[in-house]
Amino acid sequence: MTLANILNIVKKIVDIAIVWVMIYYIFKNIKNNVKISLLFKGVIIILVLKLLSEFFGLTTVGLLLEYVIMWGPLALIIIFQPEIRGILEQLGKSQLLGRHKVLTVDEREKVVYEMMQALEYMKKAKIGALIVIERDVSLSDYISKAKNLYADLTSELLISIFFPNNPLHDGGVIIQGDRISCAGAVFPTSNNVKGRKTLGTRHRAAIGISEETDAIVVVVSEETGKLSIALKGELFYNLTLDEVRMMLIDELKPTQDLEYSNEMEEEEIYEENN
């Protein structure tokens, strides 16, 4: 085998590897964006219906779907332009390792402890709060427009930020790793409230940022003191302190720890069934 042949093989391997990396990050960001993931599912359904119409000879349905497929991409680009732009931006900003993954076990426990101390106080005192914990998808755009702090995460600091009449009270806090990066951050609000039309701006903003990123969002209601967590566009409303603590512990685990725990659960289920 000549050197030219070896170089040719290496080029093909690198070419295929780059394509697979691109596909991986595209699908990863689609998964993290609820709106785009629903759009992707809709496209798949249309393509499946088109194949079924051809298989069963459904001429009218097939003709209509041909027009949808022909003009659909242009319509989707126009309608979902903000979401598509967001996906492209996330591809450039996504971190290979999320900030929470570099934390040691002790650091993760400290983050949860300080969070729970603050949440317990704010729940009793009915102090409204919006706390966003960054994971794989960067929140640098929101941080750059907020009041930068870059301070160690402590319960006292969280409480003081959201204390009534504080200038930063109405905005959100962004946590990166075990530090508070900024306060007074403004997030996009969502209309996807699923029957809870009485939800306030904080809860809508929590759902909105969780739709666009993979962040963990904790909300304290100013009116009732109830605790909620938003994840992947879904709001877990009126949680107890223990439920919030368990969700934070689970969601802050590195991916490899989650995969290991899932494997252990599957093994336990298999052993019980056999």
Query: Using one digit for the tens of pLDDT, what is the confidence trace for 202-220?
Result: 999 999 999 888 899 999 9
pLDDT attached to residue 97: 39
pTM of the model: 0.64
The amino acid present at 120, given as its one-letter code, is E
Structural domain span for residue 124: 99-256
Order the strands of the 172-176 sheet from edge to edge.
147-152, 179-185, 172-176, 129-133, 216-220, 227-231, 234-239
Residue 198 lies in a domain: yes
Report the C-alpha gap between 204 and 26 in whole angstroms.
Answer: 26
pLDDT score, position 161: 95
Asked, for residue 273, whether it belongs to a domain, the answer is no
Same domain membership, residue 230 and residue 128? yes
Two structure tokens written together for 203:
């809860």
| Amino acid 196: pLDDT | 66
Q: Pick out the chain residues at pLDDT < 50.
A: 94-101, 258-260
| Whether residues 50 and 140 fall in one domain | no
Q: Are residues 224 and 188 in the same domain?
A: yes
Residue 263 lies in a domain: no
**Total domains in the fold of the chain:** 2
In a domain, 225, yes or no: yes
Tell me the DSSP string of 163-176: STT-TTTTSEEEEE
Shared domain for 229 and 110, answered yes or no, is yes
CATH number at residue 236: 3.40.1700.10
Residue 140 lies in a domain: yes
Q: Is residue 271 part of a domain?
A: no
Which pLDDT score, from 0 to 100, does residue 38 have?
A: 73
Apex CA 147: angle with CA 217 and CA 107, to 5°? 50
Q: Do residues 87 and 104 both lie within one domain?
A: no
Among left, alpha and beta (phi > 0; psi -120 to 50; other), residue 233 is left
